């Protein structure tokens, strides 16, 4: 077996399963806030496109995908991120992906130098999406954790130049999972210049970019790159799972540096990572429609307001800039999650499962992640159960 597999930690949901094993929960229906899996109804245009194009089962899909899909993606991204005409070329600067997850993982295998000494560094925010860490470890690199501060993002300008010099790949996440914090266009431009100075790949995970809570959409790496006049060293990763509430379709894209994408396509050809034609057709429909996205944003906004109303007296709840998570401080996150599950049959995720101790700090240890992904009614039910729990279990009882 590959010895690098032994470097992987248990996935957060496996750790949660172990934490709750043997716990007898209250005799009522489970409310599951633990996993970020949108449960809103899929847009009708997506379902109809899948059914209409099922004849595509007789064809092997191409890794590059249908040009019409890449054109739809380029058109959407150009409008969304205010790109100059022709800046994003669908022929060479866009490829489809089976969701952002597989692309975020496999890009590390494609771009990191094998057997390099010293080990290259992969920089990632802390807390983080577990795929970043696993990708680094299985590529033989060393993860370097960038603790998120009170603003929910790392202080990139505080990183020592010796760290930047060893960096081969930087993962950024905006809006961030789980804090919901975004990065400004100025910060993104600074990171782009840093990537070109030191020659590392900048991988921007923007799968929550369309789930923003304010009046203005968050900046994206493509927008920042356009202001530098080049996509060199830059890759943007997007997904329909969150934007269009179709996680089961496993549809997304990667856009950016044509030289990197050319090598990535070669890698993916051997991997066999091609999107089924009927999913490509459905994806075209999804990227070309904004009405369902506006409705989705409004739905999450209502649930955030409900959370503040229901929990505000007992639990500090901040509405994030983006995403669909609450990230409150509760003290000992594991103890909180275990007791809440036992008494209210509500499942959340300990923040410690999404972060690592680094530079003398464990930024998720005293928090929990609450994913407001269910129906409004289910979320209100779950939030009211949390309030009932907190009425008899003050946060002070979960101190670390």
Residue ranges per structural domain of the chain: 3-41+291-398, 44-287
Predicted pLDDT of residue 114: 79
pLDDT in tens, 362-377: 999 999 999 999 999 9
What digits encode the pLDDT tens for the residues 320-339? 999 999 999 999 999 999 99
- Residue 58 in this model has a pLDDT that exceeds 90: no
Summarised one tens digit per residue, pLDDT across range 158-188 is 999 999 999 999 999 999 999 999 999 999 9
Residue 230 pLDDT class (50, 70, 90 cuts): very high
Average pLDDT over residues 253-280: 96
The two domains 3-41+291-398 and 44-287 share their CATH topology (first three levels equal): no
The arithmetic mean of pLDDT across residues 269-276, rounded, is 93
Per-residue pLDDT reduced to its tens digit, 71-90: 999 999 999 999 999 999 99
What average pLDDT score do residues 124-131 get? 97
Cα-to-chain-centroid distance, residue 135: 14
Average pLDDT over residues 91-101: 96
Phi, psi at residue 237, to the nearest 5°?
-115, 125
The per-type count for the chain, helices as H runs and strands as E runs, is: 14, 12
Query: Which runs of consecutive H residues, i.e. helices, occur in 199-332?
Result: 221-228, 240-243, 258-271, 277-287, 291-311
- Given a contact cutoff of 8 angstroms between Cβ atoms, the answer to whether 334 and 352 are in contact is yes
Among candidate residues 129, 65, 80, 279, the one with its CA nearest the CA of residue 88 = 80
At 396 the pLDDT is: 86
Residue with tokens 């130049």: 161
What integer pLDDT is reported at residue 51 of this predicted model?
A: 93
CATH of 44-287, one of 3.40.720.10, 3.90.1490.10, 3.40.640.10, 3.40.50.300: 3.40.640.10
Mean per-residue pLDDT, 38-59: 92
Residue with tokens 């009708």: 44
Domain 3-41+291-398 has CATH 3.90.550.10: no
Q: Is the pLDDT of residue 115 over 80?
A: no
**pLDDT at site 117:** 77
What pLDDT does 129 receive? 97
The chain-wide mean pLDDT, for the chain, equals 96
pLDDT value for 154: 98
């Amino acid at each position: 077996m590959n010895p690098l597999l032994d470097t992987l930690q248990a996935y957060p949901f496996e750790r949660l399963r172990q934490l709750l094993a043997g716990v007898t929960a209250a005799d009522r229906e489970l409310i599951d806030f633990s996993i970020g899996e949108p449960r809103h109804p899929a847009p009708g245009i997506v379902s109809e496109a899948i059914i209409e194009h099922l004849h595509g089962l007789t064809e092997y899909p191409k890794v590059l995908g249908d040009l019409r899909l890449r054109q739809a993606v380029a058109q959407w991204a150009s409008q969304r991120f205010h790109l100059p005409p022709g800046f994003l070329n669908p022929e060479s600067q866009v490829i489809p992906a089976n969701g952002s997850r597989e692309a975020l993982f496999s890009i590390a295998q494609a771009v990191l130098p094998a057997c390099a000494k010293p080990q290259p560094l992969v920089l990632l925010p802390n807390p983080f999406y577990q795929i970043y860490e696993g990708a680094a470890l299985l590529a033989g690199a060393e993860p370097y954790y960038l603790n998120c501060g009170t603003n929910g993002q790392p202080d990139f300008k505080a990183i020592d130049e010796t760290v930047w010099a060893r960096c081969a790949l930087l993962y950024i996440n905006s809006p961030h999972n789980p804090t919901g914090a975004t990065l400004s266009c100025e910060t993104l431009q600074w990171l782009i210049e840093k990537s070109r100075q030191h020659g590392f790949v900048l991988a921007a995970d923007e799968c929550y970019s369309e789930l923003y809570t304010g009046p203005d959409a968050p900046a994206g790496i493509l927008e920042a790159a356009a202001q530098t006049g080049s996509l060199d060293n830059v890759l943007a990763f997007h997904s329909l799972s969150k934007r269009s509430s179709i996680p089961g379709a496993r549809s997304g894209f990667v856009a950016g540096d044509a030289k990197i994408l050319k090598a990535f396509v070669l890698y993916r050809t051997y991997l066999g990572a091609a999107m089924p034609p009927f999913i490509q057709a459905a994806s075209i429909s999804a990227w070309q429609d904004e009405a369902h996205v506006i409705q989705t944003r409004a739905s999450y906004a209502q649930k955030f307001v409900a959370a503040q109303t229901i929990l505000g007296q007992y639990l500090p709840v901040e509405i994030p800039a983006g995403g669909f998570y609450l990230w409150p401080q509760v003290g000992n996150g594991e103890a909180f999650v275990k007791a809440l599950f036992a008494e209210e049959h509500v499942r959340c995720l300990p923040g410690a499962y999404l972060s690592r101790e680094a530079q003398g700090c464990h930024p998720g240890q005293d928090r929990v992640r609450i994913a407001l992904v269910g129906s409004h009614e289910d979320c209100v039910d779950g939030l009211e159960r949390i309030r009932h729990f907190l009425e008899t279990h003050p946060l002070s009882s979960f101190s670390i």
